[in-house]
Amino acid sequence: MTALKNDCFIRALLRKPVGYTPVWMMRQAGRYLPEYRRVREKAGSFMNLCTNPELACEVTLQPLDRFRLDAAILFSDILTIPDAMGLGLHFIEGEGPRFSRPIRTDEDINALIVPDPEEKLCYVTDAVRLIQRELQGKVPLIGFSGSPWTLATYMVEGGSSRDFRKLKAMLYDQPDLLHVLLGKLADAVAAYLNAQIAAGVNAVMLFDTWGGSLTTGQYQDFSLHYAERILNQLKLKQNGQVIPAILFTKGGGLWLEAMAATGYNALGLDWQTPISEARRRVGGKVALQGNLDPVALYASPESIRGEVKKILTDFGQGVGHVFNLGHGVHPDIHPEHVGAMVDAVHEFSPAFHCNG
């Protein structure tokens, strides 16, 4: 394992002093970059890009050439696990992901097998090893997975959904069956993240994109419980290094205390909750990652600089902040606007750290 030349991101996640606030961006390897679109075109399909370690490595590294980012994130998709479970993932242009064999019945769920990541998802671990070889310790590499609840939304609905009616009907009418599904998914996610860790990622993040659609109570029972079950299975020490774990629930502002009590090192924040309020509520326990509204990147670079400064000021002095968007960057954002955000973090943030 190559020593990290820039460990600012890892230190911030562990709430250790840093000289400036580290910054990366959800979906930083993606469609808003013309160089990404060229590789995507060469790959032929989104799944070809995900499953080709060389191409996945290439697009993972692209944003680092453009922007002074403090972390890379593995290029992949959250739906690789259900695909490895045999659901037949494919993407329909302009409509997003679809599964050929969605999961609806007792039989479907009981037949699901937790995949061995080294067998079924070796394209991901191969990509991790390749990226780490190329990165040479320049910045940390983040591995990730979708949360069980979020994966279940796609698996039961058969693709993207706005309201998760089939999955929620299962939650209300067959909660025990849903728990079987979520338990299997939690074990699959844990094995998958452990394989990413063994292959060399420096931090892991669990994306609970759709946890915010639940009521309080449902969130704790059907989403957070499984995030905790995953964490308890993770091997978060490798060669004497701690691998920090980040939990992100979009729309989870009401539940930060419960999230912070699980043992994740950091919480991802969407843009609704002020980072000062989040810090007051849970900042003594966890680092906070966020939380510029991704739609703010449609504004002018001057406005973006102002918004970055506001968030840094709102967090204030001290440890435990990783700058990020509150959700993924939109595909039609101008790369210069991303640059304005990243540069502003580097320009303004040292003032908020003692040993800058």
Stretch that binds a copy of itself, among 30-38, 165-173, 240-248, 279-287 (CB under 8 A): 165-173
Check binding of 169 to a copy of itself (CB under 8 A).
yes
Residue placing its CB nearer to a copy of itself in the complex, 169 or 351: 169
Measure the CA–CA gap between 115 and 113, rounded to whole angstroms. 6
Residue placing its CB nearer to a copy of itself in the complex, 132 or 153: 153
Under 8 Å between Cβ of 141 and 131: yes
The sign of the CA dihedral 308, 314, 320, 325 is negative
Among 164, 207, 226, 248, binds a copy of itself (CB under 8 A): 164
Binding mask 276-315 toward a copy of itself (x if CB under 8 A, else -) reads -x---------------xxxx-xxx--xx-xx--------
Residue 275 CB burial class (10 angstroms; 0-12, 13-18, ≥19): buried
Catalytic choice (77, 83, 208, 270): 77
Measure the CA–CA gap between 213 and 160, rounded to whole angstroms. 14
Check binding of 212 to a copy of itself (CB under 8 A).
yes
Q: Is 40 a catalytic residue?
A: yes
Under 8 Å between Cβ of 155 and 99: yes
Catalytic choice (11, 15, 27, 229): 27
Check binding of 258 to a copy of itself (CB under 8 A).
no
Residue placing its CB nearer to a copy of itself in the complex, 238 or 303: 303
Q: Is 77 a catalytic residue?
A: yes
* Residues making up the binding site for substrate: 27-31, 77, 154, 209, 327
Among 168, 229, 250, 321, binds a copy of itself (CB under 8 A): 168
Q: Is 68 a catalytic residue?
A: no
Measure the CA–CA gap between 117 and 68, rounded to whole angstroms. 32
Residue 108 CB burial class (10 angstroms; 0-12, 13-18, ≥19): middle
Under 8 Å between Cβ of 243 and 201: yes
Indicate the residue type of 319: V
Measured in whole angstroms, how far is the alpha carbon of residue 249 from the centre of its chain? Answer: 10
Note if the bond before 291 is cis, omega within 30 degrees. yes
Check binding of 257 to a copy of itself (CB under 8 A).
no
Two tokens at 117? 């990541």
Residue placing its CB nearer to a copy of itself in the complex, 90 or 330: 330
Binding mask 327-356 toward a copy of itself (x if CB under 8 A, else -) reads ---x--------------------------
Residue placing its CB nearer to a copy of itself in the complex, 218 or 241: 218
Whole-number Cα distances in Å, 249 to 9, 208, 220, 246, 321: 20, 5, 12, 10, 17
Beta-carbon contacts of 44 under 8 Å, excluding residues fewer than 6 positions away, are: none
Catalytic choice (11, 40, 98, 305): 40
Q: How far is the CB of 214 from a copy of itself (least distance, A)?
A: 8
Check binding of 325 to a copy of itself (CB under 8 A).
no
Give the residue numbers marked as catalytic.
27, 31, 40, 77, 154
Residues binding a copy of itself (CB under 8 A) = 163-166, 168-169, 172-173, 212, 214-217, 251, 253-254, 271-274, 277, 293-296, 298-300, 303-304, 306-307, 330
